[in-house]
Amino acid sequence: MASEASPQPARILVVGSGGRENALAWALIRSHGVETVWVAPGNGGTGDLAGCQPLAIPETDADALVEACRRHGIELVVVGPEAPLAAGVADRLRTAGLAVFGPGADGAQLEASKHWAKALMQEAGVPTAGYWWAGSEEEALAVLNRESRPLVVKADGLAAGKGVTVAETMDEARAAIGEIFAGRFGGDASLVLEERTEGPEVSVFALSDGQNLVLLPPAQDHKRIGEGDTGPNTGGMGAYAPAPLLDDAGMEQVRRQVLEPTLAALRRRGIDYRGVIYAGLMLTADGPSVIEFNCRFGDPECETLMPLLGPELATVLLACARGQLATAPPLTIAPLCSACVIAAAEGYPAAVRRGDAISSSLQPDGHLQLFHAGSSRDSQGVCRTSGGRVLAMVAQADDFDTAFERAYWGLEQVHFAGMTYRRDIGHQVRSR
């Protein structure tokens, strides 16, 4: 049972600059007791959120973040992206005595190394596809030739949601191996080869205090750039929640077979994991199978989920950061359908045009939100495009048809040169 004395943070820092962090700031400022949310470095839309302020601090500059927390009396830090988590920013902030929602560098290996995560899954008995690790192109090609079948090729380290090729042919697999060892995804080139599995994909997010878990509604995103799920992979072109692929019984199965064993395996390795465990799942004929873990909220799933979460969110995240989730109030979930469509810059996911002015006649309301991602303010205060995925339009309704109609109507109220978006997001759950 939650204690009436569960602390409510008044001053929060969100670390990051994307749509995920814009949505987190939007949700946190609406939480009980919250007065101000700072976002470092934030984006062109941060200042549009009442009660939110950008801080011109790089997300990996831990010392500057610590100083900002002391200056502003920050009571909770929420680290959004994977790069600062893998770099140990959460560790540095905790060492300074701050409450941080986000795993240390040890726990962030769940995402930072697919090889490490696969080994942990095997140890924990978590269902996942068979795999091979390769530290050289020759080694990877030898595995591929020995298996004599196309395999899934994954860059071992962080790849910004990319770096994965589900090869249809041996030649495609060889080309993907070559790209990774040519340094396309940076870092020390190594990879994981996986057996292919079949089934629909779904994302499940759990909030953890190192001992306990709170599961959020399942979500499903769209990775491909083109309608009909065609073309190259992106960071995500849209999403919806709750995904009907998992009912209550299915979510309990994921908790029991995937999330709780993973958290227990982390504890056995001496890792006190306080943050998000994001399980990317494939629902196979034999049940849920983990495609990969991430150590943060997904993007655009985060934008889709935040409007569904209740005003206890900040209190729950602070309880996670303090290892006290058992004392936190229940996190209420709105019984609505949430739809998200991403507006991208021309050229995405390759080289994109930047610097175009963003205009909007939209008046967001209780069931329609505009979250900024790849945007920034110029010296005159004009909001301009500055990245590949520029905006996320999110809407809620009693059914998915209405939610997506609202989201697409919202997109018609905003404009920037070269703006592009998919018109079939949520096709799995829409009837019109």
* pLDDT tens digits, 238-296: 999 999 999 999 999 999 999 999 999 999 999 999 999 999 999 999 999 999 999 99
CA–CA distance from 254 to each of 135, 223, 316 (Å)?
Answer: 32, 22, 21
129-136 average pLDDT score: 88
- What are the beta bridge partners of residue 55? none
pLDDT at 97 over 50: yes
pLDDT at 343 over 60: yes
Element (H, E) at 13: strand 11-16
What fold characterizes domain 337-415?
Glycinamide Ribonucleotide Synthetase; Chain A, domain 4 (3.90.600)
220-237 average pLDDT score: 93
Report pTM.
Answer: 0.93
**Residue 117: partners with Cβ closer than 8 Å, 6 or more residues away:** 109, 110, 111, 292, 293
Q: Does 11-101 match 198-327 in CATH topology? A: no
Element (H, E) at 39: strand 36-41
**Residue 334: partners with Cβ closer than 8 Å, 6 or more residues away:** 307, 308, 309, 310, 396
Which carries the bigger pLDDT value, residue 422 or residue 139?
Answer: 422
Residues above pLDDT 70, as percent of the chain: 97
Which token pair is 339? 């739809």
* pLDDT tens digits, 351-403: 999 999 999 999 878 899 999 999 999 999 999 999 999 999 999 999 999 99
- Greatest distance between any 2 Cα atoms in the chain: 62
Domain boundaries, the chain: 11-101, 131-194, 198-327, 337-415
End-to-end CA distance of the chain: 44
What fold characterizes domain 11-101?
Rossmann fold (3.40.50)
Q: Using alpha carbons, select from 358, 427, 368 the residue that is nearest to residue 395.
A: 368
Distance between CA atoms of residues 404 and 425, nearest Å: 8
User: What class is the 131-194 domain?
Assistant: alpha beta
Domain 198-327 has CATH 3.40.50.2000: no
Say how many residues make up the chain: 432
Which token pair is 176? 């993907």
Which token pair is 307? 């409007």
**197-200 own/partner pairs: CB under 8 Å, 24+ apart:** 197/129, 197/282, 197/284, 197/289, 197/291, 198/282, 198/284, 198/285, 199/282, 199/283, 199/284, 199/285, 199/289, 200/245, 200/282, 200/283, 200/428
Distance between CA atoms of residues 272 and 277, nearest Å: 12
